[in-house]
Amino acid sequence: MDNADRLMMTLVLQYQQLAMMAMGKLARPGEGVRIDLDEAAYFIDVLAMLEEKTRGHLGDELARLLSTAVTDLRLNFVDERRRQSAGPAPAEDAGDGAAPAESAP
């Protein structure tokens, strides 16, 4: 794996982690859990764009990593959007009650 492949792998993993933080699946450093589905959709869209624009130009390992990341993030996004639409579970704190704006990746 050359340096460009390592950089691409790092970029994919960073954006995947940022999307997971935006969906509240991972805590944000210094902030804890905060959900922003618009932000999550942005990171997912960037990775999907990279997947589309690099199709046929990546090695099998990187192409699989990118495809898996996009698919997993989209599934998590749909799950989180559905959860947000249903409202908080009885034991959860509803916060300000404002649901994030819906956005599809």
Closest by alpha carbon to 18, among 1, 41, 49, 48?
A: 41
How confident is the model at residue 41, as a pLDDT?
97
- What's the distance, CA 105 to chain centroid? 9
In tens, the pLDDT along 40-80 reads: 999 999 999 999 999 999 999 999 999 999 999 999 999 99
In tens, the pLDDT along 13-27 reads: 999 999 999 999 999
How confident is the model at residue 90, as a pLDDT?
57
What beta strand segments (E) does 1-105 contain?
none
Whole-angstrom distance, CA of residue 34 vs CA of residue 37: 10
Please say whether the beta carbons of 35 and 22 come within 8 A: yes
How confident is the model at residue 97, as a pLDDT?
45
Q: Domain extents for the chain?
A: 7-83
DSSP assigned state of 64: H
DSSP assigned state of 95: T
Whole-angstrom distance, CA of residue 43 vs CA of residue 40: 5
Closest by alpha carbon to 81, among 17, 25, 30, 33?
A: 25
Find the range with the poorest average confidence among 22-36, 67-81, 85-99: 85-99
